[in-house]
Structure 1
Amino acid sequence: MTRLWNDPADFADEMIDGFVAANTRSVQRVPGGVIRRDAVPEGQVAVVIGGGSGHYPAFGGLVGPGLAHGAAMGNLFASPSAQQIHAVAAAAHAGGGVFFSYGNYAGDVLNFDAAQDRLRREGIDCATVVVTDDVASAPADQASLRRGIAGDLIVFRIAAAAAEAGAPLAEVARVAARANARTRSLGVAFTGCTLPGAAAPLFTVPERRMAVGLGIHGEPGIDETDIPSADALAEQLVARLLAEIPDGASAAGGRVVPVLNGLGSLKYEEMFVVYRRIARALEEAGIDIVDPHVGEYCTSFDMAGVSLTLFWLDDELAALWDTPVDTPAYRRGAITRLTDAARNASGDGRATASAASVDSTPDADDASRRVARTVLRAVQEMSRTIDTHVDELGRMDAVAGDGDHGIGMQRGAHAALRAAAEAVDAGAGAATTLAQAADAWSDRAGGTSGALWGVILAAIAAELGDTGTPDAAAVARGVHGAAEGVVAYGKAEIGDKTMVDALVPFAYALTEGTATRPLADAWIAAAATAGAAASATADLLPRRGRARTHGAHSLGTPDPGAHSLALIVTAVGSVLAAPEEES
């Protein structure tokens, strides 16, 4: 289990600060993560990677010459926010465009895409390749749905090698996609992992049993078997990966980089025993082993487990693979680094990058300021509600996900409350107060839920205005816009077992209700509709997000995103029904 922390909510930030302090030779802190300390040649493509914290050396440990130019580092097992990703990419950009790569998880896709769209609007060219190496997470004919696990290292390294060679953005993306298509991984685990401050692991495996096909965020395995011998495990991993050799490759005479990756608690000595048989099995298949890796490259806190990745080389990829690398956690070959004097002479001022300054508070009238106080009360009640149910939401999410929904929602709600209180104190109107809460929620929470709650609150804020008192129809339009935004942004539909299953019925019920009833009455009735819809998701099979991989595991349990939405809109209804002086 994880034993050392201060406040679990601060763990990721404190970890990043300590990582930077220990690696000043290689990296520097910027808002949202880290970038290379060495100056980057003007015009070079910036390779920006990222994901949730808890996977060291991924992602910050892979920043340095020959590998990534920057890493956006989110909260524990939660994707970085769009704001964090944008800040890291803007700091890393050297004039040649930005190439993004990360594991194929819903929250990462949402937030990286949003950051990419913003950079493009600012005139910075971008391209993306998501990593999809995990063969257990989807069949071969649905490879685009697969997760990214330890194959991240392969794709990141090939993309960065092309960038170091001066390749343009399109060429970097092409070779990265080729590397991804020729990479396959499979993992197993013997225990779950425990997040800082948590009383229990995210999932458990019965004694003397092994979960097969797990995810790096603690998602349960696809199957469960007795723990085999080290040789039998090696043979099982190799056989499964050789059953799916990439197009254009073959076992006989093929060149493969094998990566045996420890997930956090497995001893190196144990991995060497396993790798001994892996090497023999690959050689027996006629495969030429190139640059074998045995170690920790993408972990999952204290999870006891291991994954095997096979990267099938061709001449082009082999040449790129030989590029030297020098990062805090991963080194290959020899690189000549800049001296401090040369670095200072380069004029590289990115070390002083800081968060964007906060604009002055827009003007508002007294009526809107009164509404802003109601907004603040609503956000307070949302935060209290999440605090009350945080453990319940975590347990629900752990059934078929990674168990962090409650923690993520709590981080987002607390940040939103601080931002809303500051806005009200500054004399902001209703729209500005809720918009700043939306930004804070999405930035601090990260992950899928953080991004989507940012969309929800921002859409409602857009209808409130900073003058006058919005009528019930305006609020309903805001909620309807929120539902449309979540559907468009998250690509989910009714029946996918997501937040959408509660949000869309709530939006329609509120629109109908406000046509004939006061806002408070219509909202409370619509919240009841959302609650019923959320409960009904217990009977659905997930078709989106991490839970999709585990299918029937979630039957009988409501979707945690739908459930938390129903809890929140019910709480907000109690605020709307109570005059301010009674609060």
Structure 2
Amino acid sequence: MTRLWNDPADFADEMAAGFAAANARSVRRVSGGVVRATATPEGQVAVVIGGGSGHYPAFGGLVGQGLAHGAAMGNLFASPSAQQVHAVAAAAHRGGGVLLCYGNYAGDVLNFDAAQERLRAEGIACETVVVTDDISSASAEEREKRRGIAGDLTVFRAAAAAAEAGYGLAEVARAARLANDRTRSFGVAFTGCTLPGAEAPLFTVPEGRMAIGLGIHGEPGIGEADVPSADALADLLVERLLAELPDGVAVRGARVVPVLNGLGSLKYEELFVVYRRVAERLEAAGALITDPHVGEYCTSFDMAGASLTLYWPDDELARLWETPVDAPAYRRGAVAPAEREAAAVTTAATEAIPEADEASRNAAATVHKVLEVLAAEIDTHADELGRIDAVAGDGDHGIGMRRGSRAALTAAAQARDAGAGARTLLARAADAWSDKAGGTSGALWGVILANLAEALGDQGKPTAAAVAEGVAAGAEGVIAYGKAQLGDKTLVDALVPFSDTLTAAVLAGRSLPEAWATASEAATRAAAATADLLPRMGRARPHAEKALGTPDPGAHSFALITAAVAATLAEDAAAQQERDLA
């Protein structure tokens, strides 16, 4: 278990600051993550990687000469926000365009894609390659749905080496895709991992058993078996991977780079015992072992487990593999000396607060109060939300919601004190939420609040109809952005019934507190009903059966929030009625 932290919600930020301070020769801190501390030639493609924290040396430890130019570092087990990815990419860009490369997880796809759109809108050429090496997370026929685990390393190296060799952006992306096509991984775990501050691991494995086919975010495996001997484990890993070779690869006579990866708690000595048998099996099959890797390359906090990656480079990829690398956690060969990058001095621009009338400022005070209640409700239930999320996901929902709601409240307080109206206050809260929370839920709550903010405006008292219209726009935005539909076991399953009921009640002439209360009841029923659904989106999808009987954490947290807000609106309405009668 993890033992050292201050506030768990601050762990990722404090970890990133300490990592940068400890590795100043290789990296420098920028908003959202780190970039190389050494100068990059003008015109070279910038390879920007990233993902959630908790996987060291991925992702910051792989930034340096010959490897990534920058890494966006998200919250614990949560994707970096679009703002973080954009900030790191902008800092790393040197005129040759940007390749974004990361593991294939829903939150990462949402946020990296949003950052890519913004970069392109600013005139920066940008391409994306997602890593899909984990054979346990989807069938060979649906390889595009597979997640990225320790095979990230081979794809990142191919992309960065191509950039170092002077390839253009399109060719760097091609090399990365080719490396991904030729990489396969499979893993097991003997214990789950424990997030800082959590009282229990994200999942447990019975004594003497192991989980087969796990993910790096603490997702449970797709099966269980008795803990084997070291040789039997090596046999299992090799046999699973040799059963699915990349197109055009025949084992006998083929180069292979084996990467035996420890997930956090296995000792190197144990890994060496396992690798001994891995090498024997590969050599017996006729493969030509090249540059074997044994160690920690993509971890999951303190998880006891291991994964094996087999990378089958062709002639081009083999040449690129020889590129020297000097990063904080990964070195190969000797890189040429490079000058230090002169850190740009940037001053955060303070955007002016638009004018607002007294009615809108009063409404802004109400919105701030609602956000206070919301943040308090999340604080109360954060552990529960993490537990629900850990049943078939990665257990980060409580931490992410806490970080997002706290950031939103801080931004709202600053906007309120500056005299902001309701729209401006909520819009700034929305941006802060999506930035600090990261992950899928952070992005989607940013969409909900931003759409609601536009409906409130900065002039006049918002009407019940305006609130209903804003919520409806938020629901439409979430569906368009996240691609989930009703029945997929996501936030959408509570959000849509809430929005539909709120709109109907307002159209029927109900006051906002009354309409909101009715809609909250609908959301609560709908969230509870998600326990009977199988997930069809996100990290829970590979473990669909495990999620039966447990509500979706996003839908559940949404229902909790709407109920808390309903109580606040009712209290405010009663207080106003007393004032009117006085």
For 1:302 and 1:388, locate their aligned partners in 2 and report how far apart those are by CA, in whole Å: 26
Answer whether contact 1:34 1:88 (CA < 8 A) is retained: yes
Give the C-alpha shift of residue 199 in structure 1.
1.1
State the match for 1:151 in structure 2.
151
Give the C-alpha shift of residue 350 in structure 1.
3.6
Cα distance change of structure 1 residues 40 and 532 upon mapping to structure 2, 3 Å threshold: same
Cα deviation per residue 1:293-330 (whole Å; 9 max; x = unaligned)?
00000001111100000011111111111111110100
For 1:171 and 1:581, locate their aligned partners in 2 and report how far apart those are by CA, in whole Å: 65
Find the partner of 1:372 among 364, 372, 380.
364
Give the C-alpha shift of residue 569 in structure 1.
1.3
1:463 aligns with 2:455: yes
Find the partner of 1:524 among 517, 537, 541.
517
TM-score calculated relative to the size of structure 2: 0.97
For 1:351 and 1:152, locate their aligned partners in 2 and report how far apart those are by CA, in whole Å: 30
The alignment partner of 2:83 has SS state of helix
Answer whether contact 1:30 1:353 (CA < 8 A) is retained: no
For 2:367 and 2:502, locate their aligned partners in 1 and report how far apart those are by CA, in whole Å: 18
State the match for 2:230 in structure 1.
230
State the match for 1:330 in structure 2.
330
Answer whether contact 2:47 2:163 (CA < 8 A) is retained: yes
Counterparts of 1:391-430 in structure 2, within 5 Å, are 391-430=383-422
State the match for 2:307 in structure 1.
307
For 2:11 and 2:461, locate their aligned partners in 1 and report how far apart those are by CA, in whole Å: 41
Give the C-alpha shift of residue 378 in structure 1.
0.8
Answer whether contact 1:31 1:353 (CA < 8 A) is retained: no
Cα deviation per residue 1:222-267 (whole Å; 9 max; x = unaligned)?
1110000000000000000000001011111111110000001100
Answer whether contact 1:260 1:308 (CA < 8 A) is retained: yes
1:431 aligns with 2:423: yes
State the match for 1:131 in structure 2.
131
Cα deviation per residue 1:77-120 (whole Å; 9 max; x = unaligned)?
11111111111111000011110001111111111111111111
For 2:163 and 2:12, locate their aligned partners in 1 and report how far apart those are by CA, in whole Å: 29
Counterparts of 1:501-580 in structure 2, within 5 Å, are 501-516=493-508, 517-579=510-572
Answer whether contact 2:490 2:552 (CA < 8 A) is retained: yes
For 2:574 and 2:515, locate their aligned partners in 1 and report how far apart those are by CA, in whole Å: 22
State the match for 2:63 in structure 1.
63
TM-score calculated relative to the size of structure 1: 0.97
For 1:235 and 1:353, locate their aligned partners in 2 and report how far apart those are by CA, in whole Å: 54
Cα deviation per residue 1:367-419 (whole Å; 9 max; x = unaligned)?
10011011011111111111111111111111101111111111111111111
- Specify the code of the residue in structure 2 equivalent to 1:505: P
Answer whether contact 1:255 1:287 (CA < 8 A) is retained: yes
Cα deviation per residue 1:185-231 (whole Å; 9 max; x = unaligned)?
00101111111111111111111110011110111011110000000
Counterparts of 1:52-451 in structure 2, within 5 Å, are 52-338=52-338, 342-343=339-340, 348-353=341-346, 356-451=348-443
- Specify the code of the residue in structure 1 equivalent to 2:282: L
Answer whether contact 2:198 2:383 (CA < 8 A) is retained: no
- Specify the code of the residue in structure 1 equivalent to 2:9: A
For 1:204 and 1:508, locate their aligned partners in 2 and report how far apart those are by CA, in whole Å: 40
Count of aligned pairs between the two proteins:
575
Find the partner of 1:483 among 457, 468, 475.
475
Identity percentage of aligned residues:
72
Answer whether contact 2:493 2:526 (CA < 8 A) is retained: yes
Answer whether contact 1:38 1:337 (CA < 8 A) is retained: no
For 1:18 and 1:131, locate their aligned partners in 2 and report how far apart those are by CA, in whole Å: 28
Give the C-alpha shift of residue 580 in structure 1.
7.2
Give the C-alpha shift of residue 551 in structure 1.
1.1
Give the C-alpha shift of residue 581 in structure 1.
8.9
Give the C-alpha shift of residue 357 in structure 1.
2.0
Answer whether contact 2:9 2:402 (CA < 8 A) is retained: no
The alignment partner of 1:28 has SS state of strand
Give the C-alpha shift of residue 578 in structure 1.
2.4
The alignment partner of 1:413 has SS state of helix
For 1:551 and 1:122, locate their aligned partners in 2 and report how far apart those are by CA, in whole Å: 40
- Specify the code of the residue in structure 2 equivalent to 1:77: F
State the match for 1:39 in structure 2.
39
Cα deviation per residue 1:445-486 (whole Å; 9 max; x = unaligned)?
111111110010001001111111121111111111111111
- Specify the code of the residue in structure 2 equivalent to 1:159: A
- Specify the code of the residue in structure 1 equivalent to 2:354: P
Cα deviation per residue 1:522-552 (whole Å; 9 max; x = unaligned)?
1111111111111111000000001001011
- Specify the code of the residue in structure 1 equivalent to 2:165: A
For 2:49 and 2:413, locate their aligned partners in 1 and report how far apart those are by CA, in whole Å: 34
Answer whether contact 2:388 2:395 (CA < 8 A) is retained: yes
- Specify the code of the residue in structure 1 equivalent to 2:398: G
Cα deviation per residue 1:465-519 (whole Å; 9 max; x = unaligned)?
1111121111111111111111111111111100011111111111111112112
Give the C-alpha shift of residue 582 in structure 1.
4.4
- Specify the code of the residue in structure 2 equivalent to 1:238: V
- Specify the code of the residue in structure 2 equivalent to 1:513: A
Answer whether contact 1:506 1:526 (CA < 8 A) is retained: yes
Give the C-alpha shift of residue 576 in structure 1.
2.1
The alignment partner of 1:493 has SS state of coil
For 2:574 and 2:529, locate their aligned partners in 1 and report how far apart those are by CA, in whole Å: 37
Name structure 2 gaps, 5 residues minimum: 577-582
For 1:358 and 1:88, locate their aligned partners in 2 and report how far apart those are by CA, in whole Å: 20
Answer whether contact 1:373 1:424 (CA < 8 A) is retained: yes
More off after superposition, 37-46 vs 1-10? 1-10
For 1:392 and 1:267, locate their aligned partners in 2 and report how far apart those are by CA, in whole Å: 32
Answer whether contact 1:29 1:351 (CA < 8 A) is retained: no
Cα deviation per residue 1:416-442 (whole Å; 9 max; x = unaligned)?
111111111110000001001101111
Give the C-alpha shift of residue 579 in structure 1.
2.2
- Specify the code of the residue in structure 2 equivalent to 1:472: A
Cα deviation per residue 1:50-87 (whole Å; 9 max; x = unaligned)?
01111000000000010000000011111111111111
For 2:192 and 2:247, locate their aligned partners in 1 and report how far apart those are by CA, in whole Å: 34
- CA RMSD, Structure 1 to Structure 2 (Å): 1.2
